[in-house]
Structure 1
Amino acid sequence: MIFYNQVYQYVNSDKDNRIRIIEVDDPIVYYVELHGDTAMPKKISVKTLEDEIDAGVLLAVSDPFLMNHDDKNLTLKQIEKRDEDWAVINGTWGDYKCQLLEKKTRDLAFDQIAENFNLKKLKVKRLFTRFWQRGLNKNALLPDYNKSGGKGKERDLAGANKVGRPRKYALSKEQNQGINITEEVKKQFSHVIKQYYRKKEQITLTETYEYLLRDFYSHKYIEDGEVKYSVWDASRIPSYNQFYYWFKKYEDPQLDISMRKSKKEFDLKHRPILSNSSLETDGPGTRFQVDATIADIYLVSSFNRSLIIGRPVVYGIIDVYSRLFTGVYVGLEGPSWTGAMMALDNMITDKVSYCAEYGIDIDELQWPAKHMPEILIADRGEFEGYSVTSLINNFNIKIENTSAYRGDLKGIIERQFGTINGKIKRKAPGAIQKEYRERGDRDYRLDATLNLKEFTKIVIHLMMQHNQKIIDKYPLEKSMIEDGLVATPLNLWTWGIANKKGRLQVTNDKNIYRLNILPRGKARITRAGIKFKGLSYGSEKAVNEQWYVKLRSTSIEVAYDPRDMDQIYIPSNDGRNFDICFLLDTSKQYKGNMLEEIEFYQEYLEELKAEQFVEQKNNSINTDVAIEEIIKKAKSEKKRLSKPTSKAEQVRNIKVNRLAEKALQREEEKFDLVDRETNVNQKPTQILEFPKAKEEPVKKTSSSLMSKLKRKRDKEFGEDE
């Protein structure tokens, strides 16, 4: 199978002989060689290319230009140059694609483009060469870079124009009593409809007619201090039937509903449905719809089935053309970017291995989806931010965000969620049976039985059943009918790949893809490690390059997985590699925790500190008071002592005084392991006396001080008494 934007390499060639598929128009494939600064598209038959792949002559390889570039890391000059060149490509690739792909018409197309943008023809050739070679995306045009990623096409923004209403009509004469409806009267009708009817208060048409009579066909007077109105006689006023008739003439249901309720109300419940989502695509992979729903069932813990953990979140991604489910995530994350990130990761995951994780054995033909689309239709909120920008610039996956409360814009995935929830309600214990329980009703939450893994297996089975289910009212093409195609998602997917263009992409490096969808944050380099979210991390690169000394207090951008904060990632400037930072021992108490748990613990510790604030201050103050009292008492006792004859005497005896004090301290602190009271009746311990060594004479001052200190000690302990 030949994929759009895939890179292949001829293995029997000594030189760099890689090619990129830039267009698939069965039975022809257009490609461009990845070497040379003016490489032009060439064409080859699909069969020839597939034969070379089957023979092992041509192999699919990783995209050498696939990388992760963030606009924040680019200079203003680089961005300006890229956007300037992108304006040329973006404004001409769609219009001149057919001419540029064919050799006979290519030069004329280049001449016209060069003339339109006042550029040299060689400059235009080089721009298109860079665009084709480096991934058909915006970042392929970055100056001074030889690698980029993804594929590109103009963004298609759809919108509906408001239809105006006519203001002038032919005169109409009523045969009953009343007046003729002139242009002036019709303007009065228009005024009261606009002034009173098309308001959020939603007054009735009858009340609007009464406002018409009050404003234009009545006398105003004051009676008993109150303002009152007197309507003219019937021959001088328009009847309600006349007003209703012209109201229907003026009626604009879209405007009326939008003004009285909301534009979303009209778009969701009243807009005409004259098309089909499948008509907006030209094959599998053109558009994927992604959405999340909270399943109508309560689950139990996988560790203890008596613990109810609430309702799971189900993310689904579906191909608009074929209705095939291409990605799924069942968990407790979201609706949030983390849940959406897991669904996007599953989108490119081989479903055979994914199902095997849950004990479900399938072959690739039963669920062949493992691709990226050209356009992803999603809700606002979780699909806004850096990660989405990264997908756009590096993979050229265009994001079309729907308006709030516009589930109808993702009708396919919304409808399938409804089907899945309906079957779960009918079969699974713990499912929500009523939106509001009445008094006496059993609490269905107590019936919860399934854990998260078991529920995931059920969702997988339901999605696989959907992939093989016949789609009613699918707009089959004539060629589908001629081929006897049964409209199941699997059949439509397979048929579309074989017969339509499509825009399916595959990625050979899942780590780069994940690096693009992981959330980003700012970390700070300190002497105590790389600080992020209150945690300390270490990196081998940081140690080798002496970051902790040279780059202290510098901020760096990191990617992280909020479900496991044991490690974070520093993306490299080349867009392909990254360095891993591991949690240091100083933060090991948070090892194995999610970011939410860590933030909870940190907030909890701060709350504990706040609770102890007064007690801590009291303790500090009382300690200071105790210290000051000790010092005050010591100073008082010192004043009562007779002062030495001179300052020199105080300083001269420091060493001797220390020896005497040490002897006293040893006498007081020495251990005596004999219990005197217990051993009072025992024979006294025999003491062996050794010959006394010759004692050195002690200075008189020291001996006198020693005796004085001993007498003081004996007095304090009452030994003199």
Structure 2
Amino acid sequence: MLAVNAVLQPHPAFEHGPLDHSYVVALLQPGVDRLFGVELTGARRQPRCFALSAVRHWLDTDQIICSTLDLPDWMLRADVAFPRKTLDSRDRSFESIRPIVDRLEEFLLGSERNRLVQERAKELGCSRETLYRRLNRFLRHGQHINALLPEYHRCGCSSPEGRGSVKRGAPRRDGFMGRNVAAEDVRNIEFVIRKWYLPTDSRRTLKDCYYDELLPTFYSTGQRAMPTGKVTPALYDHDDRPSLHQFRYYARKFLDRSGIRPGQIRRARSEYQKDFEGRTGTAPRPEGPGHVFQLDSTPLDMELRSRFCSSQTLLVGRATVYQVIDAFSNVTVGLYVCLGEPSWANARLALYCAIRRKGEAFFAELGMELPEEELPEGGVPQILFVDNQEFATALSETVGRDLQIIVEYGRARRGDDKGPIEFELGQLNLELQSLDGYIPKDRGRPGRRDPKRDALFTLEEVYQHLMRIVINRNHHHELPYERLDEQMIRDGVAPTAMSIWRWGIRHRPWLGKVMDDRQLYLSLLERGVARVEREGLIFEGCIYVCQEVRDLGLQDRKPRRHRSPQLEVRYLRHTARYILVVLPDGSFAWATLSARFQRFLRCSFDEIEIRLHEEAREKAARETPALEHKLAVKEEMAEKAKAARAQRERLTPGEVSRQPIAEQRAQEKGVEVLRDADRFEAIAESELGAVDPGAEPSPGDVDEDSGGPHAESTSSYWESMSDVLMGDDDAG
């Protein structure tokens, strides 16, 4: 469509058409049949006048083409997309030609053109060429004010031969002449930016990259020794290297041209999304109380003392506080403080405190009386929003299966995923500022008193104090009015967590589930797998006995190549005396530690693991002496066998088969009988006092024929038996 800012182009089919260049329509005057156009790309700056009827004829006969003006994207941006300095330069340029633009018809006609430009140039003190250049840019680009934006990307000399001959730009303030940046300098700058400035793990600034990498790498002649003995790079003179300002300028040009955002690429993705990325402005809201619970933990900013020291001097360090809040009302439904590190063993107790009944028994365990203001009974939520740290483990699988809770995990290093619980934990630490032993954020500053010297409170006392703070915040701390919806405002609900909770119980569906404390506790135990063998259940290196498992026949010996059955167990890591076995029908049965492992009766599973490793090491240490003794005994028997083999006469198979083995066996048995009889008679005589076995025999007790005592000794018996045997051989 023929209109102002339309583009008239020659038709490619007409070699000698009415137009030789493309023109932008600057002004239409149908009443006088005139059309003014400005060349789109040529060097001609004078506008050209056409007959409007002729132009329409050319269009009807397809001698020329009419199209829309295509402006670059940066020219169509809003003012907020440009720096204030750039906009000021644009506005000054437009103000210089505004009087001429207001009288555009007179300027285009040509009769008053030179006079208008001459008078305006005299007023501003600039050249006519400057005004003609600005007017031409303004008309060529559709009379858009952004056409006068400074084109910084076109700065510098266009011909490589001109670079370095004359220094361009304003004189430097440091007194040095400097040099123009060449193409090689630009490549060096871009190399430094890519290698040392943009990597994610880099924390260097542009200034650091300039002094630490660019100058020593590309603008030094080697190294030189300082008077102190230190070796440093010998840098080029100031006039032979780019300045810091030039480095920053070309670094920004490179980043803008590449479309790289350093603030995003130099940080981890999670850190950028958490601390810098824009927010969507909307967040899903739970449907009612008990729909979503958020659980998180943080170290307590307080030094604690031991409860077993009356002098209040023994320290136990910092505690870990777990908090569970209802995402709908922001009410705290559970609080647990312990000395352990963040783990599933502690997180399950925090969840147990949140779900269980908050009656006298609960506060009695804390050493408190039942407060006047209630702490709500959370019940079992539908969704539990947690960190991966405690719940992303096989030990915590019972939460989803037994309690029917959907466990959702926050993204790594994204504390903003669960902003309410993070804020509440921060407020708990702030509430401890007035107490002795509080650890301030600037505790490392010189002159700060060590909080360990001021520790006065035990874990139990701090737990009770935090519980009172939580109850007070539930009932009296005002929340932002953004927590209330339209219906709450109509019902006059106060912006407190407990008021929103009670309103939700009445007007929204209660999405929690009430569970017996015993069943809840057993459902939150750690989960494991035990192998069933004939001896019992093998779990964590120990054997357990369960009558129910044995009655089911699971311990009976299986045929070969049949795998032993496995059963799920629930256990408490702090004691190994009992485990809870999940039978195949889903019921529970208790198993006790086998008598073979009674040495572990008072141990935890962690201690058992340590002791089993120690026993294995001790056994390995005793193995070498035992093996050496066994080898020595074996070697001794080998020597005896060797000596006996040397004395033994070789017999034929017939001689071996004809031996009277029964008679020889009877003689050997006789030796054993007589030796036992000698032992018995010696004991009897020593008891009766008839003969002192240790005394010398009297002459009357000696048998003259045999030449020995009447009670023949075993050695003499062997000698006599030898004589008998030798005599028998001789007689044979």
TM-score (norm 2): 0.57
Superposition map of 1:153-164 within 5 A: none
In structure 2, what residue type is equivalent to 1:321?
A: F
Residue number among 70, 74, 78 corresponding to 1:169 in the alignment? 74
Match of 1:268 in 2: 274
Residue number among 281, 288, 295 corresponding to 1:290 in the alignment? 295
Cα distance 1:248–1:533, how it changes in 2: closer, same or farther (>3 A)? closer
Match of 1:406 in 2: 414
The structure that has the greater radius of gyration is 2
Kindly indicate whether the alpha-carbon contact (under 8 Å) linking 2:395 and 2:528 is maintained by their aligned counterparts in 1.
no
Task: State the Cα deviation string for residues 2-40 of structure 1 (Å, max 9, x = none).
Answer: xxxxxxxxxxxxxxxxxxxxxxxxxxxxxxxxxxxxxxx
Superposition map of 1:104-253 within 5 A: 168-170=73-75, 180-181=151-152, 195=194, 198-200=198-200, 201=202, 204=205
Match of 2:577 in 1: 566
Shift of 1:603: 1.7
Match of 2:113 in 1: none
Shift of 1:425: 5.1
Kindly indicate whether the alpha-carbon contact (under 8 Å) linking 2:398 and 2:527 is maintained by their aligned counterparts in 1.
no
Q: In terms of mean alpha carbon deviation, does 199-208 or 612-621 score higher?
A: 199-208
Match of 1:667 in 2: 678
CA distance in 1, matches of 2:209, 2:420: 41
Superposition map of 1:676-695 within 5 A: none
In structure 1, what residue type is equivalent to 2:74?
A: Y
- Confirm whether residue 336 of structure 1 aligns to residue 346 of structure 2: no
Kindly indicate whether the alpha-carbon contact (under 8 Å) linking 1:257 and 1:263 is maintained by their aligned counterparts in 2.
no
Kindly indicate whether the alpha-carbon contact (under 8 Å) linking 2:480 and 2:495 is maintained by their aligned counterparts in 1.
no
Kindly indicate whether the alpha-carbon contact (under 8 Å) linking 1:317 and 1:325 is maintained by their aligned counterparts in 2.
yes
Does 1 or 2 have the higher relative contact order (CA < 8 Å, sep 6+)?
Answer: 1
CA distance in 1, matches of 2:713, 2:288: 106
Match of 2:663 in 1: 652
CA distance in 1, matches of 2:460, 2:722: 80
CA distance in 1, matches of 2:389, 2:275: 23
Superposition map of 1:317-356 within 5 A: 317-352=324-359, 353-356=361-364
CA distance in 2, matches of 1:245, 1:629: 92
TM-score (norm 1): 0.58
CA distance in 2, matches of 1:378, 1:396: 16
Kindly indicate whether the alpha-carbon contact (under 8 Å) linking 2:383 and 2:407 is maintained by their aligned counterparts in 1.
yes
Shift of 1:239: 8.2
Q: In terms of mean alpha carbon deviation, does 525-534 or 320-329 score higher?
A: 320-329
Cα distance 1:518–1:650, how it changes in 2: closer, same or farther (>3 A)? same
Match of 1:378 in 2: 386
Cα distance 1:376–1:529, how it changes in 2: closer, same or farther (>3 A)? same
Kindly indicate whether the alpha-carbon contact (under 8 Å) linking 1:257 and 1:265 is maintained by their aligned counterparts in 2.
no
SS of the residue corresponding to residue 322 of structure 1 reads coil
CA distance in 2, matches of 1:326, 1:320: 10
Shift of 1:582: 1.8
Match of 1:601 in 2: 611
CA distance in 2, matches of 1:302, 1:638: 81
CA distance in 1, matches of 2:569, 2:340: 21
SS of the residue corresponding to residue 376 of structure 1 reads strand
CA distance in 2, matches of 1:712, 1:424: 98
- Confirm whether residue 588 of structure 1 aligns to residue 613 of structure 2: no
Shift of 1:349: 0.5
- Gapped runs of 5+ residues in structure 1? 1-165, 215-219, 685-702, 716-721
Superposition map of 1:301-316 within 5 A: 301-302=306-307, 308-316=315-323
Shift of 1:344: 1.7
SS of the residue corresponding to residue 576 of structure 2 reads strand
CA distance in 1, matches of 2:433, 2:335: 20
Cα distance 1:630–1:529, how it changes in 2: closer, same or farther (>3 A)? farther
Cα distance 1:614–1:657, how it changes in 2: closer, same or farther (>3 A)? closer
Cα distance 1:183–1:290, how it changes in 2: closer, same or farther (>3 A)? farther
Kindly indicate whether the alpha-carbon contact (under 8 Å) linking 2:529 and 2:566 is maintained by their aligned counterparts in 1.
yes
Match of 1:358 in 2: 366
Shift of 1:537: 0.8
CA distance in 1, matches of 2:220, 2:371: 87
Shift of 1:652: 0.9
Shift of 1:261: 1.9
Shift of 1:532: 0.7
CA distance in 2, matches of 1:522, 1:499: 44
Shift of 1:455: 3.7
Cα distance 1:647–1:259, how it changes in 2: closer, same or farther (>3 A)? same
CA distance in 2, matches of 1:706, 1:548: 54
CA distance in 1, matches of 2:508, 2:657: 111
CA distance in 2, matches of 1:497, 1:300: 41
Residue number among 518, 537, 547 corresponding to 1:530 in the alignment? 537
CA distance in 2, matches of 1:634, 1:510: 79
CA RMSD of aligned residues (A): 5.3
Residue number among 479, 495, 505 corresponding to 1:497 in the alignment? 505
SS of the residue corresponding to residue 485 of structure 1 reads coil
Match of 1:616 in 2: 626
CA distance in 2, matches of 1:244, 1:650: 108
Match of 2:262 in 1: 256
Cα distance 1:446–1:666, how it changes in 2: closer, same or farther (>3 A)? farther
Cα distance 1:169–1:505, how it changes in 2: closer, same or farther (>3 A)? same
Determine what percentage of the aligned residue pairs are the same residue.
Answer: 24
Cα distance 1:472–1:707, how it changes in 2: closer, same or farther (>3 A)? closer
- Gapped runs of 5+ residues in structure 2? 1-70, 77-85, 94-125, 131-148, 157-182, 223-233, 699-710, 724-732
Kindly indicate whether the alpha-carbon contact (under 8 Å) linking 1:387 and 1:516 is maintained by their aligned counterparts in 2.
no
Kindly indicate whether the alpha-carbon contact (under 8 Å) linking 1:168 and 1:183 is maintained by their aligned counterparts in 2.
no
Kindly indicate whether the alpha-carbon contact (under 8 Å) linking 1:523 and 1:557 is maintained by their aligned counterparts in 2.
yes
